[in-house]
C-alpha cells in the first residue's frame, strides 16, 4: 500500500532528479552533496568550477562517492566555448572551423578526442554540439559555434560529432532545438523571434536535428526562442507543440530533452524560473538546466518545491514528472555503463595538463587545415621580426565568456621575441600607429562584419600601413584586407597557433 509519505518522498525525489544545477567553487559544497544523496541526479559544471584536469577529476570522483550514477554535465563545445581550458583557450577548434574543412571523419575524430578528454576527467554529459544553422551572419550568440550556414553541411557534421563524442562514452546534446541560427537577439538577454514559415523551418532549422536523432544523440537541448509558425504563444522550451508534438512525435526522438539555462532572461524575465520550469516539464522537457548564473541551494529548493506544488495542484501531471525523472535516470544508467566499459581501458593521463593531454595533436591538425590565407597583389614577405599586435576586441557574448584568452600575440611572442600587443575596444587607429612605430602591424579581429567601428579601423589601418597583416578569428564574411589576410574560423588557442604559423611562413 502506498502511503501519502511514500508519494511525497517519490515526488520530491523525482523533482530533484529533473534538475541540473550548478554551484560555485572548485570543490563540491556540502549542500550539493546532501541533495545528491536525497535524489538530485545531475550536476552542471562551468568554467568557475575548473582549475585543472586533476582537480576536475577529483571533483567528479567526490560527486560519485555520494552517488555512483550522478550525471556530470558540462558546456564544452571546444573552440570559443570552452570550460575545460577557459584559462588558456581550447586545444580543439570549434564547429565553424570543422565545417570549413568539411571532412566529416575529421569532425568525428575531433569529437571523439574531446570525449576522451572529458571522460578522463569524469564528465559524462556534454551540452554539445550546436546544431544551429547560422543563416543570419549577424547572429550575436551563435556565429562560429555553428558548423556553417548550409543545412546539409551542418546536418552531416552534427551527426559526425554526435557519433564521435558518444564513441568515447560521453553523451552528446544537440542544441538549440529547433534552431537558434536565424536570430538577431541573444536569449541570455531577451526573447528572440524567428518569423519564417513552417516549410523553411523544416528544410533549414530542423535538418541537423533530424540528423542528430538518426545518429542516436542521447540528449537534445531546447531553445528559448519564439517561432510563431510552430507556436505563436510560447517559446520552444515551454511549448508542448514544439517539444512533444514536433520533437517527440514528428521527429521520433526518445532520448533526454534538457532545457537551456532557465535563468536566461528570455524565460526568466517573463515567467520566472519556478513557473518556467513547471511549464517546461509539462511541455515535454525532462531536465531543467539552471546554474550558469544561479549557484545556490535556495534555487534548487525553490525549483524542487515548485514542481511538487504544481503536481499537487493538478497543473503538472504526476506521470509527466515521473517520466521525465525516468529519462534522466536512464541516461545516467547509460553513462555509468559506458564508464564501466572503459574501465582499465581508459587512456592513461587523460586528465593531464591542458595542451599535452590526448587529442591535442588532432586538435592542432584540424585548426591548421581550417586556416585560409589570402595574399594581396602587392605581396610582402611573412613576418620574420617582432611585430606589433593590435587586438580589436569586441565584447564577448555570455556563452563564450570574457575570461578565455584569444588571439595570436602569445604565440607570435614565443616565435618572435620582442612582440608587443595592445587591446583596442573601439576605433583608435592613431593610437595603434603610434604604439607600433616602425614595426609591422598584425591586426586581430573577431567578426569584423558585425562591428562597423572595427571595419572602419581596419580600412584606415591598411590605408596607412599597406603591409598590415589581418587575422580574422570569427566569421569570415567581410572582404579580405591587408597584405596577408588570415581566416582561422574560430578563436581557440590552436587556431591562434595555426594563424601564427601562417603569418610567419611556418
List the catalytic residues: 188, 260
Which CA distances in Å does 92 have to 63, 111, 340, 495?
27, 9, 26, 8
Peptide bond into 181 cis (omega under 30): no
d(CA 495, CA 473): 8
Q: Which of 105, 78, 163, 168 is nearest to 354 (CA)?
A: 78
Q: Which three cell numbers stand for residue 193?
A: 523571434
Contact 123, 169 (CB under 8 A): no
Element of type H or E holding 214: helix 207-214
Q: Which three cell numbers stand for residue 238?
A: 515551454
What is the dihedral sign for C-alpha 56, 491, 292, 25?
A: positive
User: How many residues does the structure list for the chain?
Assistant: 506
Contact 138, 186 (CB under 8 A): no
Tell me the Cα Rg of the chain.
23
DSSP for 383-439 reads: P-S--EEEEE-PPPPTTT-SSS--SSHHHHHHHSTT-EEEEESS--HHHHHHHHTTS
d(CA 494, CA 363): 7
d(CA 32, CA 25): 12
User: Which are the contacts of 445, defined by CB distance < 8 A and separation ≥ 6?
Assistant: 392, 454, 458, 470, 471, 472, 473, 474
Q: Which three cell numbers stand for residue 186?
A: 541573444
Residue 417 burial (CB count, 10 A): 8
Peptide bond into 20 cis (omega under 30): no
The DSSP 8-state label assigned to residue 132 in this structure reads -
d(CA 406, CA 48): 18
- Residue 423 phi/psi, 5° resolution? -105, 130
The DSSP 8-state label assigned to residue 67 in this structure reads -
Amino acid at each position: 500500500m502506498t502511503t501519502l509519505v511514500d508519494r511525497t518522498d517519490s515526488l520530491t525525489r523525482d523533482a530533484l532528479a529533473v534538475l541540473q544545477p550548478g554551484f560555485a567553487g572548485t570543490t563540491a559544497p556540502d549542500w550539493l552533496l546532501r541533495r545528491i544523496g536525497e535524489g538530485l541526479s545531475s550536476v552542471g559544471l562551468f568554467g568557475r568550477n575548473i582549475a585543472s584536469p586533476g582537480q576536475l577529476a577529483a571533483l567528479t570522483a567526490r560527486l560519485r562517492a555520494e552517488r555512483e550514477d550522478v550525471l556530470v554535465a558540462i558546456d564544452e563545445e571546444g573552440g570559443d566555448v570552452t570550460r575545460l581550458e577557459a584559462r588558456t583557450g581550447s586545444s580543439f577548434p570549434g564547429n565553424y572551423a570543422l565545417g570549413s574543412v568539411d571532412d566529416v571523419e575529421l569532425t568525428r575524430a575531433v569529437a571523439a578526442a574531446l570525449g576522451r578528454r572529458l571522460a578522463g576527467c569524469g564528465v559524462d554529459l556534454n551540452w554539445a554540439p550546436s546544431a544551429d544553422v547560422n543563416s543570419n551572419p549577424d547572429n550575436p550568440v551563435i556565429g562560429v559555434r555553428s558548423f556553417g550556414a548550409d543545412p546539409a553541411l551542418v546536418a552531416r557534421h552534427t551527426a559526425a560529432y554526435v557519433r564521435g563524442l558518444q564513441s568515447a562514452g560521453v553523451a552528446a546534446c544537440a542544441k538549440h532545438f529547433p534552431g537558434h541560427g536565424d536570430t538577431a537577439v541573444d536569449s541570455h538577454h531577451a526573447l528572440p523571434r524567428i518569423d519564417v514559415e513552417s516549410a523553411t523551418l523544416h528544410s533549414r532549422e530542423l535538418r541537423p536535428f533530424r540528423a542528430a536523432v538518426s545518429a542516436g544523440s542521447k540528449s537534445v537541448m531546447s531553445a528559448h526562442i519564439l517561432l510563431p509558425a510552430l507556436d505563436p504563444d510560447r517559446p520552444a522550451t515551454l511549448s508542448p507543440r514544439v517539444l512533444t508534438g514536433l520533437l517527440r512525435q514528428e521527429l521520433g526522438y526518445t532520448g533526454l530533452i534538457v532545457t537551456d539555462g532557465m535563468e536566461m532572461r528570455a524565460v526568466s524575465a517573463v515567467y520566472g524560473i519556478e513557473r518556467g520550469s513547471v511549464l517546461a516539464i509539462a511541455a515535454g522537457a525532462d531536465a531543467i538546466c539552471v546554474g550558469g548564473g544561479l549557484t545556490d541551494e535556495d534555487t534548487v529548493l525553490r525549483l524542487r518545491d515548485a514542481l511538487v506544488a504544481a503536481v499537487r495542484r493538478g497543473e503538472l501531471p504526476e506521470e509527466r514528472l515521473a517520466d521525465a525523472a525516468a529519462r534522466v535516470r536512464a541516461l545516467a544508467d547509460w553513462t555509468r555503463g559506458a564508464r564501466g566499459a572503459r574501465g582499465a581501458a581508459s587512456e592513461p593521463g587523460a586528465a593531464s595538463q591542458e595542451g599535452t593531454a590526448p587529442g591535442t595533436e588532432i586538435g592542432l591538425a584540424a585548426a591548421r587545415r581550417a586556416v585560409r590565407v589570402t595574399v594581396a597583389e602587392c605581396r610582402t614577405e611573412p613576418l620574420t621580426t617582432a611585430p606589433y599586435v593590435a587586438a580589436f576586441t569586441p565584447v564577448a557574448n555570455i556563452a563564450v565568456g570574457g575570461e578565455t584568452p584569444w588571439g595570436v600575440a602569445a604565440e607570435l611572442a614565443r616565435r618572435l621575441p620582442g612582440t608587443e600587443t595592445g587591446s583596442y575596444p573601439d576605433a583608435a587607429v592613431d593610437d595603434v600607429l603610434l604604439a607600433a612605430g616602425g614595426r609591422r602591424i598584425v591586426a586581430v579581429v573577431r567578426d569584423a562584419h558585425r562591428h562597423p567601428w572595427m571595419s572602419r579601423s581596419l580600412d584606415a589601418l591598411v590605408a596607412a600601413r599597406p603591409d598590415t597583416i589581418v587575422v580574422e578569428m570569427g566569421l569570415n564574411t567581410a572582404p579580405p584586407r591587408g597584405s596577408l589576410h588570415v581566416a582561422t574560423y574560430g578563436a581557440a588557442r590552436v587556431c591562434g597557433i595555426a594563424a601564427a604559423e601562417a603569418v610567419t611562413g611556418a
